[in-house]
Amino acid sequence: MIIDGKNIANQIRLNLKQFVLKNDIQDKIGLAVVLVGQDPASHIYVNNKVRACTQIGIRSMVYKLPDNISQVELVQLVDSLNQDRIIDGILLQLPLPSHIDAQKVIDHIDSKKDVDGLSKNNVYNLQKGYDCLKPCTPLGIMKLIASTGVVVEGKHAVVVGRSEIVGKPMVQLLNLSNATVTNCHSLTSNLAQLTSLADILIVAVGQRHLIGVKHVKKGAIVIDVGINRLDNKLYGDVDFEQVKDIASYITPVPGGVGPMTIAMLMSNVIKAAGYDIKTML
């Protein structure tokens, strides 16, 4: 079965919009988005996030900065946003130009406003299992898995990729749900041998069709995080056409994980503003 991430994300966004209306807090919650440089994909992502805010009733402010901004200036902006009472969430659109140490800037974001969940305090909080703002993509993936009705506890989950944004926090969230987790990366020998043991396989690499039939156990849940552009088309890391016949559930690209990332960002912004929205998701 195909996991319709777009539909699930739309339902969550609708629930959040209703929550905002019911609590009469339209435009009272504020998200600051910091966008550095001219990367076209980043501009598209930021536009999508702004549109989602507008739809739900969250105020968004985009700070467009030139490529040559210094790290000191960027940190100063983050510090002023930390102090700004009308800003509940701060999002630093990645990637940043190479002269900037992205993690250092992220670590300056107040952990209570860190709606991407990537600052060192939130990384620590997640590792400890404390209540905190969690990275949006892995959080969305947990919701997609939950939508299948399959219980994660006791399952063998294999995560391919160990980035700070997806792979590592994904491992943490699966661990917190009591899965047994294997984490693969570029130096893993015999990838197929490990992935084919997975009840739940999550692939976040960025290589088109890295995962084929030989990598997947019959009946596994397959979550494809990859976004690979070729000739104006988007492809995942999983060869969907081949794998869909052996997986029990599989996410498409596009329309799987991507829409959930934005829905989870919206829910993180509302959580950062101090609202308990667990039941809305």
Q: What is the per-residue binding string for ligand NDP in 202-241, x denoting contact by CB under 6 A?
A: --xxxx--x--------------xxxx-------------
3-state secondary structure (DSSP) of residue 53? helix
Which residues touch 20 (CB under 8 Å, ≥6 apart)? 26, 29, 56, 57, 58, 270
Residue 255 binds ligand NDP (CB under 6 A): no
Stretch of 73-81, 151-159, 187-195, 265-273 lying at the interface with ligand NDP (CB under 6 A): 187-195
106-111 CB contacts, 8 Å cutoff, 24+ apart: 108/75, 108/78, 108/79, 108/82, 109/78, 109/81, 109/82, 110/82
How many residues of this chain bind ligand NDP (CB under 6 A)?
26
Interface residue with ligand NDP, options 138, 161, 169, 252 (CB under 6 A): 161
Min dist CB 117 to ligand NDP, Å, is 13
Min dist CB 256 to ligand NDP, Å, is 7
Pair of tokens at residue 84: 């700004």
Pair of tokens at residue 224: 């494809």
- Active-site option among 88, 107, 114, 116: 116
Min dist CB 276 to ligand NDP, Å, is 25
Min dist CB 258 to ligand NDP, Å, is 4
Mark whether 116 is an active-site residue. yes
Residue 185 binds ligand NDP (CB under 6 A): yes
Q: Which residue lies nearer to ligand NDP by CB, 86 or 197?
A: 197
Min dist CB 44 to ligand NDP, Å, is 12
Residue linked to tokens 């630093």: 92
User: In whole angstroms, what is the distance from residue 226 CA to residue 204 CA?
Assistant: 5
Q: Which residue lies nearer to ligand NDP by CB, 77 or 262?
A: 262
Contact yes or no for 113/103 (Cβ under 8 A): no
C-alpha distance across the termini of the chain, in Å: 22
Phi-psi region of 178 (alpha: psi -120 to 50; beta: other; left: phi over 0): left
User: In whole angstroms, what is the distance from residue 37 CA to residue 87 CA?
Assistant: 22
Interface residue with ligand NDP, options 188, 196, 242, 248 (CB under 6 A): 188
**Side-chain half-sphere exposure of 259, counting CA atoms within 13 A:** 18
Residue 187 binds ligand NDP (CB under 6 A): yes
- Active-site option among 17, 49, 113, 271: 49
Min dist CB 48 to ligand NDP, Å, is 10
Pair of tokens at residue 145: 């898995």
Pair of tokens at residue 170: 């994904």
Mark whether 278 is an active-site residue. no
Interface residue with ligand NDP, options 182, 251, 261, 267 (CB under 6 A): 261
**Catalytically active residues, by annotation:** 49, 93, 116
Q: Which residues bind ligand NDP (CB under 6 A)?
A: 137, 160-163, 165-167, 184-188, 191, 204-207, 210, 225-228, 257-258, 261
